[in-house]
């Protein structure tokens, strides 16, 4: 997979959790606190059934805040991305619509204000995430801007609300990066450095789950070719979350620059980590093998690169959805195979 395609692929992935996973504040309801801490970690490790079961905690579902509906939408998006499935758009929007209706019933008391605004940010944020997953970029920007406005209100109420720093920082950086071709225009601001600094500020705050901050910062530093800082972030991430596929992908990506054979070993481990019962297509398999073709070629193992490329190019019976998702990856494999003749 070429680097530009890989960055777009990772861009969507880092957005999947961009609004919900770095709580600095401990929610007053112990049931809500427990589900956020444990449920999100289960999902991060690919244990989606266990995470969904935890969401069914009755105290959690009965909270006056719509966290159940919001995290149910998040789980649907995360699972679709992880297993390269079409998003269940109707189901996800229904969860978010229900969350918005429930939030309207929360008393508008001072103690509730930061959480009302935070939930509003989450609802709009997950709509943005869904639009990004479906490559609906203008809708993503509009929904993301709405989310950011609510996060900014959180900071006005509580200047130490670190969750908002992370979410604002991520959105501002990646929006500017996606629209970097417009940054020369006078009415378009380049907020990449501001976004990065917001994420670094959030990194210094103790959180339940810091993997969202790690994921964004690694991608930013790798994109900027600041490999020393990228490695520092990755070291922290893999120490704290050794079983998370997203950081294993990043480890392979990092190692691939200078140690392609070690990167291949990591990719092989990722390939076997998926639950076969949940795999409904060959997208992840062929994407990973496509990256391995490039790495074998880079390592000088031309015969292995040829053999794996031929295996990929001989695959038949892919669905239209699979063909669309794999188009660029397979095209890159074809290019490498032509070079190896």
Q: For tokens 């032509």, name the residue.
A: 338
pLDDT average, residue stretch 294-316: 97
pTM above 0.85, yes or no: no
CA gap 109, 78 in Å, rounded: 33
pLDDT(85) > 60: yes
pLDDT average, residue stretch 164-177: 85
| DSSP-assigned letters across all residues of 139-198 | HHHHHHHHHHHHHHHHHHH-TT-HHHHHHHHHHHHHHHHHTGGGTTSTT----HHHHHHH
pLDDT average, residue stretch 177-202: 77
Lowest model confidence (mean pLDDT) among 54-63, 135-144, 177-186, 322-331: 177-186
Confidence of residue 231 (pLDDT cuts 50, 70, 90): very high
Residue 26: per-residue pLDDT: 63
Percentage of residues of the chain with pLDDT beyond 90: 58
Domains, the chain, with CATH or none? 3-243 (1.25.40.10), 276-339 (no CATH)
Confidence of residue 181 (pLDDT cuts 50, 70, 90): low
Average model confidence (pLDDT) across the chain: 86
Lowest model confidence (mean pLDDT) among 123-127, 182-186, 269-273, 313-317: 182-186
CA gap 184, 187 in Å, rounded: 9
pLDDT average, residue stretch 19-33: 60
Closest CA to 246 of 29, 26, 33, 41: 41
Residue 165: half-sphere exposure toward Cβ, Cα within 13 Å: 23
CA gap 173, 15 in Å, rounded: 12
Lowest model confidence (mean pLDDT) among 25-39, 148-162, 308-322, 326-340: 25-39
Query: How many Cβ atoms from other residues are within 10 Å of residue 269's Cβ?
Result: 13
169 and 199 Cβ atoms separated by less than 8 Å: yes
CA gap 60, 278 in Å, rounded: 27
Structure-model confidence comparison of residues 335 and 187, the more confident one: 335
**Radius of gyration for the alpha carbons in the chain, expressed in angstroms and rounded:** 20
Residue 17: per-residue pLDDT: 42
pLDDT(10) > 90: no
Q: What is the per-residue burial (b if ≥16 Cβ within 10 Å, else e) of 197-231?
A: ebbbebbebebbbbbbbbbbbbbbbbbeeeeeebe
């Amino acid at each position: 997979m070429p680097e530009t395609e890989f960055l777009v692929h990772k861009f969507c992935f880092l957005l999947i959790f961009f609004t919900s996973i770095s709580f600095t504040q401990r929610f007053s309801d112990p049931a809500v606190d427990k589900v956020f801490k444990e449920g999100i970690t289960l999902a991060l490790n690919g244990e989606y059934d266990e995470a969904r079961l935890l969401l069914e905690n009755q105290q959690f579902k009965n909270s006056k805040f719509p966290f159940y509906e919001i995290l149910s939408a998040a789980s649907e998006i995360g699972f679709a991305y992880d297993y390269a499935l079409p998003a269940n758009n109707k189901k996800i929007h229904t969860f978010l619509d229900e969350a918005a209706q429930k939030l309207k019933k929360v008393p508008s008391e001072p103690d509730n204000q930061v959480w009302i605004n935070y939930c509003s940010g989450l609802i709009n944020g997950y709509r943005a995430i869904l639009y990004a997953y479906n490559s609906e970029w203008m809708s993503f920007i509009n929904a993301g801007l709405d989310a950011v406005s609510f996060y900014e209100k959180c900071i006005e109420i509580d200047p130490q609300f670190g969750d908002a720093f992370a979410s604002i920082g991520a959105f501002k950086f990646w929006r500017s990066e996606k629209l970097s071709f417009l940054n020369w225009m006078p009415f378009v601001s380049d907020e990449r450095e501001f976004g990065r600094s917001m994420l670094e500020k959030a990194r210094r705050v103790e959180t339940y789950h810091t993997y969202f901050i790690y994921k964004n910062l690694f991608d930013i530093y790798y994109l900027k070719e600041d490999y020393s800082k990228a490695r520092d972030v990755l070291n922290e991430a893999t120490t704290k979350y050794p079983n998370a596929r997203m950081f294993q992908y990043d480890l392979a990506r990092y190692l691939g620059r200078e140690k392609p054979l070690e990167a291949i070993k990591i990719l092989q481990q990722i390939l076997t980590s998926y639950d076969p019962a949940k795999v409904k297509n060959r997208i992840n398999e062929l994407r990973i093998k496509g990256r391995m073709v490039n790495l074998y070629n880079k390592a000088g193992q031309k015969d292995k690169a040829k053999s794996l490329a031929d295996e990929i190019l001989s695959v038949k019976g892919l669905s239209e959805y699979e063909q669309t998702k794999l188009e660029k990856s397979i095209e890159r494999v074809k290019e490498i195979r032509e070079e190896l003749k």
